[in-house]
Amino acid sequence: MSDLPHENDQPDPLDPFEEIIEAETDRDPDLAVIEAGSRTLRTQGGAPQADVPARPEDPEVDKALREVEAELATRWGETKLEPSVSRISALMDVLGDPQRSYPSIHITGTNGKTSTARMIECLLGAFELRTGRYTSPHVQSITERISLDGAPVSAERFIETYQDIKPYIEMVDAAQEYRLSFFEVLTGMAYAAFADAPVDVAVVEVGMGGSWDATNVIDGDVAVVTPIGLDHTDRLGETTGEIAGEKAGVIKQGATVILAQQPVDAAQVLLKKAVEVDATVAREGLEFGVVARQVAVGGQMLTLRGLGGEYPEVYLPLHGAHQAHNAAVALAAVEAFFGVGAQRAEPLDIDTVRKAFAAVSSPGRLEVVRRSPTVVLDAAHNPAGAEATAEAVREAFDFTRLIGVVGASGDKNVRGLLEAFEPIFAEVVVTQNSSHRAMDADELAAIAVEVFGDERVQVEPRLPDALEAAITLAEEEGEFAGGAVLVTGSVITVGEARLLLGKG
């Protein structure tokens, strides 16, 4: 693997992208396309409670937060979009462009954005920078979306931020053809909160796409593109190349671009955009990557190749090859932010890097929330995510009988998701969450029967009943056997199950 090109070097958009895949001979090239990075495996009980805050204990604060949530719910939801940044730009203008007051790292891609953002945040924090992180969707609490110094903002601060910018939101609403959407308001709140803190650097995950995403009023010094796959095809494009065209919008003039391994057509689009804006490119498998990985207790031990050299014996408390590759991307992004490979040759301090990665967590992604039998939650909602989750379960757990609980959204490739899980589920209990987007349990069951066969499918429309049925089926193996339950299909399903199982 080579070092990061100097600033005056021009990336060659005609590099055969097969070289990137071939550079890592221990990895299936097909998985380079479909592996999802938002799946986290923790074998010892999940993330710290602070990562997923409970409802406020103070009744008055809880009431005020519910009022804010109710007001936000009157706006366009995250699935209804008008592709432009005109409204968010107008809001930033009246707020005095808070997003210009700090440097930022902008993350797009199909899978892996949130886990990669969390890793970047941990690394920056370990180097004593104050961070702001904006990610979506949330697992349980809306306050999870806006984090300062590695923890979600308090309910009080969330309410205060909303009230502070509410007059400006109403001003923009009155002047625009359409009111600001739910996601646009939250984005404005995040950027304002980061400026008010103030933060040293913002780590920002796009909501969808890139070019017209509400987050794209920042000029990220570093643009990160995690693996691109087929999702939201009705809005972003029918091929990975078309989708990459939208996501390439986060690549700004003179930025450094960190590219995870990509399908060939997506890579060509992204490299072409980088050339057009004179951006420096670092590609997984060429300029950086995973040199070696070994399964370890509670995670894996990695040797990573960064832009400044090798980082051996890095413990990551997450399982799955996809998480190792997310770690390589996150490390390269932070190196680029500090100028490693361009302004400076020496690598980052290895002890600080090790400390940061050892502290990474990602709630609701292969999170163990119960034992005897083991219950695991994972927010996989597309075939790519399900494939990565299934592979990580095979690698890290020794379940003898795994029962699936699946509640999915109606606008997703549900058949593909079920097909990815079919080899590891002994039986599946289909259900539905409380969202208006949820696929009807009977409709989901009809698809599941085609994939699993009638004898392996059980229908329980209410999620509490589905959890009880699945746990009962898992317990048939006996108290000390290997029966377990995996709850999946949607972030909403996982969040509701997490509450039912006593987390938060």
Burial class (CB in 10 A: 0-12, 13-18, 19+), 26: exposed
The pLDDT score that the predictor gives to residue 4 is 40
The pLDDT score that the predictor gives to residue 437 is 84
**Residue 83: is its pLDDT beyond 70?**
yes
The pLDDT score that the predictor gives to residue 29 is 34
**Residue 193: is its pLDDT beyond 50?**
yes
Tokens of 110: 């199909």
**Residue 42: is its pLDDT beyond 90?**
no
Q: Which residue has the higher pLDDT, 208 or 496?
A: 496
Over residues 406-416, the mean pLDDT reads 91
Q: How confident is the model at residue 365 (pLDDT cuts 50, 70, 90)?
A: confident
**Residue 316, SS3?**
strand
The pLDDT score that the predictor gives to residue 27 is 36
The pLDDT score that the predictor gives to residue 10 is 41
The pLDDT score that the predictor gives to residue 32 is 34
Q: How confident is the model at residue 51 (pLDDT cuts 50, 70, 90)?
A: low
The pLDDT score that the predictor gives to residue 345 is 79
Q: Which residue has the higher pLDDT, 1 or 383?
A: 383
Q: Which residue has the higher pLDDT, 411 or 360?
A: 360
Over residues 261-281, the mean pLDDT reads 95
**Residue 453: is its pLDDT beyond 50?**
yes
Over residues 452-480, the mean pLDDT reads 91
| Average pLDDT score, the chain | 86
Distances (CA, A) of 79 to 37, 75, 182, 415: 22, 11, 10, 21
Over residues 41-69, the mean pLDDT reads 69
Distances (CA, A) of 56 to 60, 162, 503: 9, 17, 14
**Residue 496: is its pLDDT beyond 50?**
yes
The pLDDT score that the predictor gives to residue 233 is 57
Q: How confident is the model at residue 478 (pLDDT cuts 50, 70, 90)?
A: low
The answer to which of 10-14, 295-299, 420-424, 433-437 has the lowest mean pLDDT is 10-14
The stretches of 344-439 forming alpha helices (DSSP H) are 350-358, 383-396, 414-421
Contact residues for 91 (Cβ-Cβ < 8 A; gap 6+):
165, 168, 169, 172, 180, 184, 188
CA 159/CA 144 separation, integer angstroms: 13
**Residue 189: is its pLDDT beyond 70?**
yes
The pLDDT score that the predictor gives to residue 320 is 84
Taking the C-alpha atoms of 329, 330, 332 and 338 in order, what is their torsion angle to the nearest 10 degrees?
160
Among 64, 55, 79, CA closest to 162: 64
Over residues 425-439, the mean pLDDT reads 93
- Name the percent of the chain lying above pLDDT 90: 67
Over residues 94-108, the mean pLDDT reads 97
pLDDT digits (tens, 9 = 90+) for 152-166: 999 999 999 999 999
Ramachandran angles phi, psi of 498, nearest 5°: -60, -40
Burial class (CB in 10 A: 0-12, 13-18, 19+), 220: buried
Q: How confident is the model at residue 47 (pLDDT cuts 50, 70, 90)?
A: very low
Over residues 385-413, the mean pLDDT reads 91
Q: How confident is the model at residue 491 (pLDDT cuts 50, 70, 90)?
A: confident
Over residues 14-32, the mean pLDDT reads 37
pLDDT digits (tens, 9 = 90+) for 106-144: 999 988 899 999 999 999 999 999 999 999 888 888 999
- DSSP summary character for residue 211: T
